[in-house]
Structure 1
Amino acid sequence: MRIADARVIVTCPGRNFVTLKLVTDDGVTGVGDATLNGRELAVAAYLTDHVVPALIGRDPARIEDTWQYLYRGAYWRRGPVTMTAVAAVDTALWDIKGKVAGLPVYQLLGGRSREGVTVYGHASAADTDGVLAEVARFTGQGYRAVRVQTGVPGLPTTYGVGKPGIVYEPADAAIPSEAVWDTERYLDHVPRVFARVRAEFGPHLKLLHDVHHRLTPIEAARLGKSLEPHALTWLEDPVPAELQEGYRLIRRHTTTPLAVGEVFNTIWDCELLIREQLIDYVRATVVHAGGITHLRRIFDLAALHHVRTGSHGATDLSPVCLSAALHLDLAVPNFGLQEYMPHSEATDAVFPHGYRFADGYLHPAETPGLGVDIDEELAARYPYQAASLPVNRLPDGTLHSW
């Protein structure tokens, strides 16, 4: 069996996705997500110009060798564009292997370690009363864990707070829009929000919050300490992770668990954080961390150091990525939580899939492979639309982490 065709498909059913579809010489197909929010065409070009020509004629069964070929064989390694392209190939090859074996991918990864994958929903609103209603809506649907984000008084917009009734998508303009950020207002507001949420919903609901890399280590330590009475399951991305030693300072000051990693691309981005047990959850994901093969390596390293998984799963990852994540979530021993933001109806139609939500859990498809595909004819009806993520500035105009 050999790879006979490889197609890079760009579609925008409400937001942009890039998908790699591999076809073997005997007609078996595999799909991999290659979406990098705001930089989709960079990955599409990397695949089309540099990767696809090297795939034709290769043995699709040699997943590890192909991964090493694309990683070690490229002098310019790592980085989000390269690793997203590698992930697309790797994921598609696992899909093919499952179909050839007649098994869902999780069975090839060692079988079930649990009956279902616990997911968390996104409760957001402009103010505290609104977010309380949103948390109630999610718990009413059976969610056992909820991420809580609200607007900050005095700021016109805040990350993570979408418009009511619309699937949240932060990429909002061809040229990045600009928002204003004020750390002191934020640090004053967030503990008050969680005090009300915990009082309303009791001690057992898992609560999470995303800082989105916006604080310094000592500011993050202050926030973590102020949130300790409300027993968060995790505080996500409190500071930019380029300076990983900063997490040592946060650890010295708070016991609030930390979750980091949705922007990580390789095991080297999180090796120190994991080895020194500076984080509690690693949030790297299939599409941005080199596929199932490499993410499993990250998760195995994490398991040795009492760090659990918490993979990114926002709607900028296609159903192909979410399906792949679920198969890995089901198999690894150190699973923690899986982010889950349901896609739009248009996206679900372009990517028919078999995974399902029930009683707070997601369940991957039991069909061979990943259990997801792309309707190429329907995808062609949604052409690419330029969209960029916003940027942040402080009140005095200084550029700040978005």
Structure 2
Amino acid sequence: MIIDKAEVIVTSPDRNFVTLKLTTNDGHTGLGDATLNGRELSVVAYLQEHVVPLLIGSDASRIEDTWQFLYRSAYWRRGPVTMAAIAAVDMALWDIKAKAAGMPLYQLLGGASRSGLLAYGHASGKELSELFDSIRSHQDQAYRAIRVQTGVPGLKAIYGIASQAADAGGGEARYDHEPARRGAKPMQEDWDTRSYLRHLPGVFEAVRNEFGPELPLLHDGHHRMTPLQAAKLGKELEPYDLFWLEDCTPAESHEALKLVRQHTTTPLAIGEVFNTVWDFKDIVRDQLIDYVRGAVTHMGGITPLKKTMEYASLYQIKSGFHGPTDISPVGMAAQMHLGLAIHNFGIQEYMQHGAKTDEVFEQSFTWQNGLLHPGDEPGIGVELNADEAGKYPYEQAYLPYNRLADGTMHDW
């Protein structure tokens, strides 16, 4: 199986996606997700100018060797652009190999370890009544676990709250799917950590009182707290039995997570901005987290994330793979196959893509009774409709950014 064609496809149905399509001389095709939210074209250039020329004429069956070549031969290693490009190649090669074998990818990864994947959705609201409605809506959609994000009194626009944006006709439309707003400049949001810390425990008390003790609840701090603030919040949330507290403080600091761990038993999830096992190595070894938040798309593909999870399994740490809508259906499907196969699966983040995206990416995975399954089509189980993709050219988009009340830049 010799690669004789490599295409980098950029399309923007509900948001921008970057997809690598490889074709072999015997007619097999494979897809890989290379989407880097808000910096998509940097990966496009990396693939088109530096990676695609290296792939033509190479053996598509040599997945491990190709991964090592792309990682080691450039000398400049790691980083989100490099690893997203390598991830796309890795996914596409696994897709090809599984199609050639005539079986779904999870079978090549060791076979299924479970019948389906528990997934969580994103509920949010500016006020409690709106939040409760959002939780009920997610339960109606069969979600068995729900992330809870809330407005904070005095703050106008903050992370995680489904907001309003003008649609093409000048009306108002829910902007649930793309926090990276289309436009020439990013949108500014505001933040006050002390207000957030005062408000959040009461929100979780109200949610527990309304929905009972059985519903798994999650929350994302989005890197905004100091270690001491994160430790305080984790302690105050203990009575509400969170499934996890995510990204409570910037995880680059090993010592910061030690401080948090010393003060709370609330489970911690970290790593959606990590790129390699080296980012996870010490915090896994020292058992400072409970869930690995890496993504196939940003960690260099299926090959290294599987190794990372095997390492994490030595310390009873489970997966919690990153899965908002900036992971394309190709990346989501790849994660589902990996999650189905590994023993230490924990939960899968799952934001449902918009209708236009589902027309561009034809998918075989299913969502039933709160469980995801990648399906049993050969390969990853996603095909790209080129005609539909061509209807939606790239549109400039940026993630929002944060400033404090005095104008200081803060982590978004």
Normalising by the smaller structure, the TM-score range is over 0.9
**Which letter maps to 2:179?**
P
Deviation at 1:74, TM superposition (A): 1.4
Q: Secondary structure at the match of 2:384?
A: coil
- Matched residue, 1:169: 178
1:331 to 332, 341, 345: 341
Identity of aligned residues (%): 59
Q: Secondary structure at the match of 1:287?
A: coil
Distance 2:191 2:209 in 1: 28
**2:88 counterpart of 1:88:** yes
Deviations 1:108-155, CA, capped at 9 Å, x for gaps: 000010000000011011111111111112122221100000111100
Deviations 1:326-373, CA, capped at 9 Å, x for gaps: 000000000000000000000000000000100010111201000001
Deviations 1:188-208, CA, capped at 9 Å, x for gaps: 111111001111111111100
- Matched residue, 1:2: 2
Deviation at 1:163, TM superposition (A): 2.7
- Matched residue, 1:122: 122
Gaps of 5+ in 1: none
- Matched residue, 2:171: none
- Matched residue, 1:384: 394
Distance 1:102 1:66 in 2: 22
Distance 1:245 1:97 in 2: 42
Gaps of 5+ in 2: 165-173
CA contact (8 A) 1:146 1:207 kept: yes
Distance 1:166 1:198 in 2: 27
Distance 1:194 1:138 in 2: 17
Deviation at 1:392, TM superposition (A): 0.6
**Which letter maps to 2:235?**
K
Deviations 1:184-233, CA, capped at 9 Å, x for gaps: 11001111110011111111111000000000000000000010000000
Distance 2:222 2:92 in 1: 30
CA contact (8 A) 1:121 1:143 kept: yes
- Matched residue, 2:382: 372
**Under a length normalisation based on structure 2, what TM-score does the superposition of the two structures give?**
0.96
**2:396 counterpart of 1:396:** no
- Matched residue, 1:74: 74
- After superposition, where does 1:152-301 map in structure 2 within 5 Å? 152-163=152-163, 165-172=174-181, 173-301=183-311
**2:362 counterpart of 1:362:** no
CA contact (8 A) 1:167 1:343 kept: no
CA contact (8 A) 1:265 1:290 kept: yes
- Matched residue, 2:36: 36
**Which letter maps to 1:103?**
M
Work out the number of aligned pairs and report it. 402
**Which letter maps to 1:126?**
K
Distance 2:189 2:158 in 1: 8
Moved more, 240-249 or 272-281: 240-249
* Alignment root-mean-square deviation, CA: 0.9
Distance 1:119 1:312 in 2: 11
